[in-house]
Amino acid sequence: MNTNKSKHLFNEAQLHIPGGVNSPVRAFKQVGGTPVFMKRADGAYIFDEDDNQYIDYINSWGPLILGHNHPKVVEALQEQVKTAFSFGTPTSLEVEIAKLIKSMVPNIELVRMVNSGTEACMSAVRLARGFTGKTKILKFEGHYHGHADLFMKKAGSGMATLNIKQDDGIPKGVADDTLVIAFNDFEAMQAIVKQYKTELAAIIVEPVAGNMGCVPPKMGYLELMRKLCSENNIVLIFDEVMTGFRLAKGGAQERLNVWADLVTFGKVIGGGLPVGAFGGRKDIMSCVAPLGKVYQAGTLSGNPLAMTAGFATLSVLNSNPSIYAELDNKGIYLKEKLNEIFAIKGETHTINQLGSMISIHFCENDVTDFESASIGNNDTFKKFFHHMLNNGIYLPPSAFETWFLSSALSDEDLQATLDVCKRW
Ligand SMILES: *Cc1c(COP(=O)(O)O)cnc(C)c1O
């Protein structure tokens, strides 16, 4: 496959942009080689600067659950772009999307729109601190909640990929207020809540972790978290930036039937434009300014173009009752077939999958937390990644990332993917 234009562009990019990328996960650091520069997309496919075609299993790292350029989203954006880009005043669009979010996620009583998942998570924690009057938070190793200071401790995604453990740029006081334990460890959670319950403002968790590969919670783990939070005046924050509107209309909450006090959204909620949101219990959300004294604001929050893409995407998901079952079936099919292919090849591997989230770790052990996710053989992953890429299958360039399936992926696309895999 000829990717000369990408190579040329990457050389140039590095002269002007740190590492040549505007987000570190794009830099191919774990897998080596040159990141591919994309220029257009159509449904399940993306096309690079040299006009090579790829089946897309990243979908912009999650937002494009309907695939690229869904006609309903394109149409809505074309209409909006003729009307207005931005006012900085309230608009009816914001009322419509808030109502739609509430109808899809029943425990959201009030919701505030922001511009990214990072913003949503940092705002939710500030709110939890304001509401409880407490300071410390508990997060889980390998979970990623954006790049705000308070989350830069044993985080997943790019921090795991680049193996960044030290906290350059993070004030010690901030880091000290963030406690971290292993995901899916029942005893550790009970012990730390017991020790810090009078200081803990919030537990923030990816209910189905997706930033160390896909790692679902063990049975009863989220339920225990829910119970400990309720008993100790700790705000339970589900970070559904990745899982929201992806695992079900009501996200991981609906799928697993555990309900948080606050929920953060991003990715799918913006349909490919920059959007985030946080929402939940009315008594807590009422502490947000201008109702309360927890300040949070944004010049472009609720931006009309962003709201339009989000509303169109959520509307398609909301009005299409079979869409999640179809995504599930694709995920299960892919997992089963990949398992068969790797078994025949004698390739040691573990595939975790839930709904349209799936990931492969080249290790023997179950992958249930960050430690077990880190054991995988990176040389094997690297070879696998480049084989797939060179044959037109675009996977995330790190084993610490989840593949995202879209409703645009056809059975033929899945078959083509498996055929490439067989030739590895
Ligand atoms: C992507 C992600 C974020 C950060 O969202 P940005 O829009 O990149 O700031 C936060 N939490 C989770 C679970 C994510 O997957």
Q: Give 369-407 as a DSSP string.
A: SHHHHT-S-HHHHHHHHHHHHHTTEE--SSTTS-EE--T
Domain boundaries, the chain: 4-69+321-422, 71-319
* CB of 252 closer than 6 angstroms to any ligand 1 atom: no
Rounded to whole angstroms, the Cα distance separating 77 from 308 reads 6
Query: How many whole angstroms from its chain centre is CA 318?
Result: 20
Residue 282 a catalytic site member: no
* Helical ranges in 84-234 per DSSP H: 92-104, 117-132, 158-161, 172-176, 186-196, 221-231
Rounded to whole angstroms, the Cα distance separating 364 from 372 reads 10
Rounded to whole angstroms, the Cα distance separating 424 from 418 reads 10
Domain 71-319 has CATH 3.40.640.10: yes
Residue among 154, 267, 330, 382 flagged as catalytic = 267
- With the most atoms of ligand 1 within 8 angstroms of its CB, the residue from 25, 60, 113, 118 to mutate is 118
Phi, psi of 5 (to 5 degrees): -65, -40
Please say whether the beta carbons of 142 and 215 come within 8 A. yes
Give the CATH number of domain 4-69+321-422.
Answer: 3.90.1150.10
pLDDT in the model for residue 166: 65
Rounded to whole angstroms, the Cα distance separating 304 from 306 reads 5
* CB of 145 closer than 6 angstroms to any ligand 1 atom: yes
Q: Which residue has the tokens 């808030």?
A: 98
Rounded to whole angstroms, the Cα distance separating 150 from 226 reads 22
For the chain, list residues with pLDDT below 70.
Answer: 166
pLDDT in the model for residue 198: 98
Residue 419 a catalytic site member: no
pLDDT in the model for residue 156: 83
Starting from the edge strand earliest in sequence, which strands make up the sheet with 403-404, in order? 350-354, 357-361, 403-404
* CB of 401 closer than 6 angstroms to any ligand 1 atom: no
- With the most atoms of ligand 1 within 8 angstroms of its CB, the residue from 211, 238, 263 to mutate is 211
* CB of 151 closer than 6 angstroms to any ligand 1 atom: no
Residue whose CA is at the smallest distance from ligand 1 atom 5: 117
Instruction: Indicate whether this model's pTM tops 0.85.
Output: yes
Residue among 45, 57, 144, 394 flagged as catalytic = 144
Residue 45 a catalytic site member: no
Q: Which residue has the tokens 């992926």?
A: 409
pLDDT in the model for residue 72: 98
Please say whether the beta carbons of 266 and 117 come within 8 A. yes
* Helical ranges in 240-322 per DSSP H: 251-256, 282-285, 304-318
Which residues, at least 6 apart from 35, have a Cβ–Cβ distance to it below 8 Å? 6, 10, 20, 21, 26, 27, 28, 397
